[in-house]
Chains A and B, each alone.
Chain A
Amino acid sequence: MPRVTFLGPSGVARAVEARTGDSLMAVAVRNGIPGIVGECGGNASCATCHVYVDDAFQSRVGPPNDVEEDLLDLGVSDRRESSRLACQIALTEELDGLVVHTADERL
């Protein structure tokens, strides 16, 4: 059961348990993590599950795929080197302890 910590923009941390194979988006949405909406249910159609992967985990998580690149480029307001779409990250035991930073959510 990989554990994931979401750090909000104001520094609030939420640690949650995930099931191996879950997408990071699904875990975040079920737990109501602010800033992660996942409107398209993980279809890589919306960019509403944007996160910044913590420096310590970037190499393990890896870079965005091609479709994700386009969505991030055009669909999010503050894209950075560490930007990923949570729906494209599948959780494995290797990612146990993962820390990601979330952006502000619209109302």
Chain B
Amino acid sequence: MTGGALVVGASQAGVQLAVSLRRAGYRGPVTLVGAENHPPYQRPPLSKAFLTGKADATTLHLRTPEFYREHGIDLVTGERVTHLEVDADGAGRARTAGGRTLPFDRLALATGARPRRLEVPGAHLDGVLHLRDLDSATRLRQRLTAGATLVVVGGGFIGLETAAVASALGAKVTVVEAAGRAMSRVVAPAVSAFFQEAHARRGVEVRLGAAVAEFLGGQGRITGVALADGTVLPAETVVVGIGVVPRTDLATDLDLACDGGVLVDACGRTSRPSIVAAGDCVAAPHPTRPGQRIRLESVPAAIAQARAAGATLAGQPQPNQEVPWFWSDQFDLKLQMAGLTDGYDRHVLRGDPGDERFSVLYYRSGSFVAIHSVNAPADYVAGRAALARGASIPPEPAADPTRSLRSLITPTAAVPAAQ
């Protein structure tokens, strides 16, 4: 017991893992090592309050320096782990780019994800940004002045949130989305349509089915975006928000099974069970579809997985049973989501999107699986409570916005299937 526990990656998942190790009674040394030069911080505000200038960097910190000290968590920032060696007994050592060696007798990976790059000519021009960390958000914030022209590539959550902030700050914003609708991986067409129109009403131009052919520049700087159909959009700044790629390099080097993320079980154990992993870097068991795995990219998932993985690493395996949930703020529109919509075969609309206040409930094979609410937090809360209890909300009465959703929660999971 000399090396203690090493957690690689010091963000939402890494911090929670270290905390949960302690809460589960682990008494050995805990080292939390992160590549960034900042103490661990929250990312969601990077495309929201921080980007608008309402929050400064210190308000983003996840814990105070005293907290790490008091809990015996040795926080090492600015050190990227480049190599891991693990012996047969699970102990080993990490080497960092800065030349340090960190010994351990148990290991956790919380390496997160990196932004996906768009491989087109001009991708390396000055002014083409990816929004993932505090440094990139700080650079972007400096560029979002009134009258600036911004092209956002990707109509997902981060792209649309960025567009909303920039537009509210007075920038001229165009969103370019390759798919036929925004946020298409996650939300129903009605929700996409609503957000596309809401953005347009607030002055953001949203171009759907538009592929970027090339970033155009002069003297090394971005000047415009050429689309596949020949259109050229002028741009002083481009934000590429086309998703993230899990950081699995260290796991792959250790021969851990990876498939769209480091494969873990519900307790956070990798294919080499003494090593745990959590957060954006993992593909975990799907909460409602046995045998399937899913990679979730959210703070609640990172925390829930890390809680389980931390307890497991402390010798008290504990499965993660949290219903996935997520939120997105765009202008004055608060989208709150609970459950997972993948594979849904029926949905009902509750309320009128024209009022900018409505919900969509999703069903799969007759089971209530998810809810998305726009400016309707009571619906979201009721939906989430039903999902957490394994209860249902029958679709027909749910469509009537005069009935409270919480009064409709029924303890059975089954409702009639779609015809």
The verdict on A30 contacting B303 (CB below 8 Å), with A43-B327, A46-B325 known, is no
How many contacts between A and B, using CB within 8 angstroms? 72
Q: How far is the CA of A60 from the CA of B382 in the complex (A)?
A: 29
User: Which residues does chain A contribute within 8 Å of B378, judged by CB atoms?
Assistant: 66-67, 70
Residue from B45, B59, B307, B381 having most chain A Cβ neighbours under 10 A: B381
Stretch at the interface among B63-71, B108-116, B216-224, B288-296: B63-71
Stretch at the interface among B17-25, B132-140, B181-189: B17-25
Judge whether A39 and B20 touch: CB under 8 Å.
no
Tell me, yes or no, whether A63 is within 8 Å of chain B by CB: no
Judge whether B307 and A106 touch: CB under 8 Å.
yes
Tell me, yes or no, whether B124 is within 8 Å of chain A by CB: no
Interface size for B (C-beta < 8 A) is 37
Judge whether A44 and B377 touch: CB under 8 Å.
yes
Majority SS at the chain B contact face? helix
Q: How far is the CA of A32 from the CA of B16 in the complex (A)?
A: 11
Tell me, yes or no, whether B92 is within 8 Å of chain A by CB: no
Q: Which residue of A lies closest to B302 (CB)?
A: A39
Q: Which of A13-43 contact B (CB under 8 A)?
A: 26, 29-32, 34, 37, 39-41, 43
Contact of A40 among B63, B70, B299, B316 (CB under 8 A): B299
Shortest distance in angstroms between A68's beta carbon and chain B's nearest beta carbon?
9
- Contact residues of A with B, CB < 8 Å? 26, 29-32, 34, 37, 39-41, 43-46, 66-67, 70-71, 73-75, 105-107
Majority SS at the chain A contact face? loop
6 A-B pairs with the lowest CB-CB distances in the bound complex, closest first: A32-B67, A74-B385, A70-B381, A67-B377, A70-B378, A45-B327
User: Which residues does chain B contribute within 8 Å of A46, judged by CB atoms?
Assistant: 300, 325
Q: How far is the CA of A30 from the CA of B68 in the complex (A)?
A: 10
Judge whether B63 and A30 touch: CB under 8 Å.
yes
Shortest distance in angstroms between B271's beta carbon and chain A's nearest beta carbon?
24
Shortest distance in angstroms between B33's beta carbon and chain A's nearest beta carbon?
19
User: Which residues does chain A contribute within 8 Å of B318, judged by CB atoms?
Assistant: 107
A selection of 19 A-B contacts at a CB cut-off of 8 Å is A29-B62, A31-B64, A32-B64, A32-B70, A40-B299, A43-B327, A45-B336, A66-B378, A70-B378, A70-B382, A71-B377, A74-B382, A74-B406, A75-B381, A107-B20, A107-B23, A107-B307, A107-B316, A107-B318
Tell me, yes or no, whether B96 is within 8 Å of chain A by CB: no
